[in-house]
């Protein structure tokens, strides 16, 4: 994928709108407190999505998985709220994306139609760039190698592709695709697209449309990073596909808000999908899902719970129980070592902390409140 970045730089096809603060570290608005001299075991990032000014709260992860505030960093953009939303103002998954290999954190600013790029230095963030998302109301980010795609939710929905050069993004106008959704459909928060995600091999780009068609759209991605002219549209009638991840066998794992279920699909070479398995959670508003090895956890916003499943890569789901979480359970992330799960509770703006047992069961170990983050979404971990 290095060719895509070289191509963008060489032929000048990119229209770039950036703010580059010359690598100067922003002063944290929240001071660090009594951290161990040996440094944190890891870091968790949470966006507050504040409409007056989006910011990323950074938390040190101790050896026992609990979190301690380390700082808050403005993105240089505005958060947003879709009409009708209460605990999930972006109604999406993946609004904050961390590239562990390159130490870069990407955040959408839905209210100002931009994306922010941070370099990560331990538990400190250095704002490198603020760039146009190439559409209206960005809600989700997908990263693969030197490629990044942003999902814009309004005006019928669109995806916009970027090439990464160093710590900067270059927007490629030719890598823009409209989704053709009905922009007037209501309620807005269930009628906008939910997530954009690369398949594990980077050959395809998946977009969920939620209630606006109830489809799973699959774009082919060329070796240079360009999406196919049109997606293969896979109907998932009545199930309202919302958030996605992948199992070890490459199956697409989907949280379906309409049927309150988790479903697995085989993605075929031509972009069609074939249902492999479906398990009803018995909960309300099953919208988000995160993978932790062979374990998967679906967030049920209406019930304030997490539904656990096992999938060894075969696409077959094994129920692993339901765990209580905070009100308005939304986006989630897993620590890099797979030992801890962190889940946003949109009803209170909190991040709930769980220890993951070797068998996949969850034990609550604490909670922190992110300032100004009621209804906010976007979480990632190192």
Which CATH number covers residue 272? Answer: 2.130.10.10
For residue 350, pLDDT over 60 is answered with yes
Structure tokens at 277: 């398995």
What average pLDDT does range 6-30 have in this prediction? 39
Q: Is residue 132 part of a domain?
A: yes
For residue 4, pLDDT over 90 is answered with no
For residue 24, pLDDT over 90 is answered with no
Q: If you write DSSP's letter for every residue of 137-156 in order, what string do you get?
A: SEEEEEEETTEEEEEE-STT
Q: Is residue 20 part of a domain?
A: yes
Range of the domain at 169: 2-24+42-381
- In the chain, the percentage of residues whose pLDDT exceeds 90 is 90
What's residue 65's pLDDT?
98
| The total number of structural domains that make up the chain | 1
Q: Is residue 33 part of a domain?
A: no
Q: Count the neighbouring beta carbons within 10 Å of the beta carbon of residue 237.
A: 9
Quote the radius of gyration of the chain (alpha carbons, Å). 19
Task: Give the three-class secondary structure for 209.
Answer: coil
For residue 335, pLDDT over 60 is answered with yes
For residue 362, pLDDT over 50 is answered with yes
Residues 158-181 as b/e (b if ≥16 CB within 10 A, e otherwise) read bbbbbbbbebbbbbbeebbbebbb
For residue 91, pLDDT over 80 is answered with yes
Measured distance CA(115)–CA(152) in Å, rounded: 11
Measured distance CA(89)–CA(83) in Å, rounded: 8
Measured distance CA(234)–CA(231) in Å, rounded: 9
What's residue 35's pLDDT?
36
Structure tokens at 39: 């440094």
The closest alpha carbon to 106, from 131, 84, 86, 81, belongs to: 131
Instruction: Tell me which DSSP letter residue 28 carries.
Output: P
Q: Is residue 134 part of a domain?
A: yes
- Per residue in 232-286, pLDDT (tens digit) is 999 999 999 999 999 999 999 999 999 999 999 999 999 999 999 999 999 999 9
What's residue 39's pLDDT?
67
Q: Is residue 255 part of a domain?
A: yes
Measured distance CA(19)–CA(373) in Å, rounded: 25
Q: Is residue 53 part of a domain?
A: yes
Structure tokens at 271: 């972009």
Measured distance CA(382)–CA(336) in Å, rounded: 5
Measured distance CA(113)–CA(345) in Å, rounded: 25
For residue 10, pLDDT over 50 is answered with no
What average pLDDT does range 100-117 have in this prediction? 97
Burial class (CB in 10 A: 0-12, 13-18, 19+), 35: middle
Q: What pTM value is reported for the model?
A: 0.91
For residue 27, pLDDT over 90 is answered with no
Q: Is residue 30 part of a domain?
A: no
Weakest mean pLDDT among 39-43, 102-106, 155-159, 315-319:
39-43
Q: Is residue 36 part of a domain?
A: no
Q: Count the neighbouring beta carbons within 10 Å of the beta carbon of residue 324.
A: 12
Higher pLDDT, 10 or 172: 172
């Amino acid at each position: 994928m290095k060719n895509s970045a070289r191509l963008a730089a060489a032929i000048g096809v990119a229209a770039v709108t950036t703010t580059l603060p010359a690598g100067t570290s922003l002063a944290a608005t929240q001071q660090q407190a009594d951290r161990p001299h040996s440094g944190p075991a890891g870091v968790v990032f949470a966006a507050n999505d504040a409409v007056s000014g989006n910011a990323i709260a950074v938390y040190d992860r101790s050896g026992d998985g609990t979190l301690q505030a380390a700082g808050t960093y403005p993105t240089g953009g505005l958060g947003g709220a879709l009409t009708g939303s209460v605990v999930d103002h972006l109604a999406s998954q993946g609004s904050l994306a961390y590239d562990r290999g390159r130490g870069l954190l990407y955040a959408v600013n839905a209210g100002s139609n931009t994306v922010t790029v941070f370099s990560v230095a331990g538990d400190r963030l250095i704002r490198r760039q603020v760039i146009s998302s190439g559409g209206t109301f960005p809600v989700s980010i997908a990263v693969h190698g030197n490629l990044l795609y942003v999902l814009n939710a309004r005006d019928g929905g669109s995806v916009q592709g970027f090439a990464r050069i160093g710590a900067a993004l270059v927007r490629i106008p030719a890598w823009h695709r409209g989704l053709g959704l009905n922009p007037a459909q209501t309620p807005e928060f269930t009628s906008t697209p939910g997530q954009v995600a690369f398949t594990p091999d980077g050959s395809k780009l998946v977009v969920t449309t939620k209630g606006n068609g109830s489809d799973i759209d699959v774009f082919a991605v060329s070796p240079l990073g360009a999406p196919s002219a049109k997606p293969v549209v896979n109907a998932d009638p009545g199930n309202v596909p919302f958030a996605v991840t992948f199992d070890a066998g490459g199956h697409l794992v989907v949280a379906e808000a309409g049927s309150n279920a988790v479903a697995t699909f085989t993605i075929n070479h031509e972009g069609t999908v074939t249902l492999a398995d479906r398990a009803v959670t018995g909960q309300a508003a099953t919208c988000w899902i995160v993978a932790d090895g062979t374990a998967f956890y679906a967030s049920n916003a209406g019930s304030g719970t997490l539904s656990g499943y096992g999938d060894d890569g075969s696409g077959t789901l094994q129920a692993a129980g339901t765990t209580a979480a905070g009100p308005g359970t939304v986006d989630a992330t897993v620590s890099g070592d797979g030992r801890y799960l962190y889940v946003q509770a949109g009803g209170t703006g909190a991040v709930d902390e769980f220890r993951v047992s070797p068998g996949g069961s969850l034990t609550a170990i604490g909670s922190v409140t992110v300032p100004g983050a009621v209804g906010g979404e976007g979480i990632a971990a190192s």
